[in-house]
Chains A and B, each alone.
Chain A
Amino acid sequence: MRRLLNLQPSKPLRLALFLAPLGALLLAYLVFSDARLAENPQDRLLPAFSTMGDTLLRMATEPDRRSGELLFWLDTRVSLQRLALGVGLGALTALILGVASGLLPLAGASLSPFLAIIAMIPPLAILPILLIAFGVGELAKVLLIAIGVGPFIARDLEGRVRELPRELLIKAQTLGAGTWQTLWHVVLPQITPRLFDAIRLSLGAAWLFLIAAEAIASTEGLGYRIFLMRRYLAMDLILPYVAWMTLLAWLLDYGLRVLSRRLFPWYGAAGNKR
């Protein structure tokens, strides 16, 4: 018998092991849902898959009576737009601050401790401030996401820049590059794949801030919808919405990973660990 730590699953076994927990979860849901519905056909807590499918289809294909919009697609579009703007704004600011702080000792002396302090502020605690300052419009929600992920990304990138071999920065200078050209031709290209990694890591937090902001101050969006439907115990809508958000989050992560591999073929090959 080989040691457990040396045992590798075969290909079919790997697939089976991958599907097992998901299957078990679905099966358990089916069993409990059937049991509750058999007792009380009006039960709303664990709706049948067919009910959830009908509800989702209605949200996606029938215009809302009041606004005339297809709510499912409206919610998706609005939420993704907020997420993209917030993460984009946060990441861009973080790139500028993090690289400046990591590369230039003069900037670092000021930015490094500042970012460390800013990163300690619980972002949700400043949501009321954002709502007071910017009202319930898009800006407050986008800023919450940007402030939520920005300091984390900035500090990550700052560390990555400091980790760049000193030799490469000296080398660039012996090849005629000054500060700006070293930044542009050496530091930025080598740090951009790290930025992709940092964004992927911060997407989970970005979703959290998106849903929180939408739950508190919004009139549409995926987060708004599920918190609205909570009042009606509409599990037949909430559950498919959660599944849809999970799928979107996974797709974003996967897309960024593929894009990063396309854009930076040298990354990971040069002894850089992913």
Chain B
Amino acid sequence: MSELVLKNVGKRYGETVVLERLNLTLTAGDFCAVVGASGAGKSTFLKLLLSELQPSEGTITLGGRPLPPEPGPERGVVYQRYSVFPHLSVLDNVRFGLERTHGDPLFGRTWGARRRALRAEAEALVDAVGLSAARDRFPGALSGGMQQRLALAQTLALKPELLLLDEPFGALDPGNKKAAHDLLKTLWRDRGMTVVMVTHDLSEAFTLAKRVLVLDKTREDPHNPERYGASLTYDIPVDNGLPPREAAPRELSA
């Protein structure tokens, strides 16, 4: 199975160092949460894993091979906003990935029996995230919680090895958040993909993840705050009913 390995990864914008010396190994099926203050570089970290950005230093490998240089179907993503296509119905949003990956090379469309089979597959996913009643509605007519459940279904339709989540439930009220958490947990247990979830909500990180990583600066230059970037400072195993990976919090870099 595919292991995600970061070796000495860093990201700079000119003189501004955002991330530095990231070292991390995620085994297949890990659920890890990345926490950190606002502006710590959490989204940047996720963009590196998605190949939306390329690292300035270091290497990232997935299953032993260098990460593909562009985003692709092996890695799925759900953002806090703009995760679903506003011009497509709920069902068509879920069908999007299935049609593109199974369809003709030019337009990415399927016909006949295959089209019907993919449609049934998408319908099953829509049911699984509890949106059967809203199947033909446009995302604009859904609540925030429903939109995020749709985004999960849309992304999971392609069974990505790696699921990347950038504050996916940050805009939800407590009730919807709880429902979305339960759904994500179930989907992760049933499907076994590796999950990296960025959040600034500590309690969310500790209820959902098996492993919580802390992104923080290890050194400060008071005269030039942009000289040093954030690293992974703590790797905390979490016992939330699942076998813990480590006995105690481990400090990663001094």
> Which stretch in A32-40, A238-246, A266-274 binds the other chain?
A266-274
- For window 227-274 of chain A, which residues contact chain B by CB distance below 8 Å? 264-267, 269-272
- For window 68-118 of chain B, which residues contact chain A by CB distance below 8 Å? 70-73, 75-77, 79, 81-83, 85-87, 96-97, 100-101, 106-108
> Which stretch in B3-11, B136-144, B187-195 binds the other chain?
B136-144
- Min Cβ gap A183→B in Å is 11
Whether B100 and A174, one on each chain, are in contact in the complex, defined by CB atoms closer than 8 angstroms, is no
Whether A175 and B96, one on each chain, are in contact in the complex, defined by CB atoms closer than 8 angstroms, is yes
CB-defined A-B contacts under 8 Å, sample of 27: A167-B79, A167-B82, A170-B50, A170-B71, A171-B83, A171-B85, A172-B96, A173-B70, A173-B71, A174-B73, A174-B75, A174-B97, A174-B158, A175-B97, A175-B155, A176-B158, A177-B108, A190-B86, A190-B87, A265-B138, A266-B86, A266-B139, A266-B140, A267-B87, A269-B140, A270-B86, A272-B86
Beyond A168-B85, A174-B76, is A180–B106 a contact (Cβ under 8 Å)? yes
Beyond A266-B86, A271-B140, A272-B86, is A175–B73 a contact (Cβ under 8 Å)? yes
Beyond A173-B71, A175-B100, is A181–B86 a contact (Cβ under 8 Å)? no
B58 at the interface (CB under 8 A from A): no
Interface residues on A, range: 20 to 34
Q: Scan A161-201; emit 1 where CB is below 8 A from any B CB, else 0.
A: 00001011011111111001100111001100000000000
Across the interface, B154 reaches (CB within 8 A) one of A175, A185, A269, namely A175
Known: A176-B73, A181-B100. 6 other contacts (CB 8 A): A171-B77, A173-B71, A175-B97, A177-B108, A190-B85, A266-B87
A240–B238 alpha-carbon span in the complex (Å):
81
Whether B77 and A270, one on each chain, are in contact in the complex, defined by CB atoms closer than 8 angstroms, is no
A165–B52 alpha-carbon span in the complex (Å):
14
Secondary structure at the B interface, as helix, strand, loop or mixed, is loop
A264–B87 alpha-carbon span in the complex (Å):
8
Q: Which residues of chain A are near B100, meaning CB under 8 Å?
A: 175-177, 181, 185
B160 at the interface (CB under 8 A from A): yes
A272–B82 alpha-carbon span in the complex (Å):
12
In the complex, how many residue pairs between chain A and chain B have their CB atoms under 8 Å apart? 83
Beyond A186-B85, A189-B87, A266-B86, is A173–B72 a contact (Cβ under 8 Å)? yes
A264–B86 alpha-carbon span in the complex (Å):
11
A269–B89 alpha-carbon span in the complex (Å):
13
A223–B111 alpha-carbon span in the complex (Å):
51
Whether B138 and A168, one on each chain, are in contact in the complex, defined by CB atoms closer than 8 angstroms, is no
- Min Cβ gap A191→B in Å is 10
Across the interface, A175 reaches (CB within 8 A) one of B82, B139, B158, namely B158
- For window 139-180 of chain A, which residues contact chain B by CB distance below 8 Å? 165, 167-168, 170-177, 180
CB closest chain-B residue, reference A266: B138
CB closest chain-B residue, reference A264: B87
A264–B108 alpha-carbon span in the complex (Å):
22
Q: Which residues of chain B are near A171, meaning CB under 8 Å?
A: 77, 79, 82-83, 85
A266–B100 alpha-carbon span in the complex (Å):
22
Q: Which residues of chain B are near A180, meaning CB under 8 Å?
A: 106
Whether A174 and B71, one on each chain, are in contact in the complex, defined by CB atoms closer than 8 angstroms, is yes
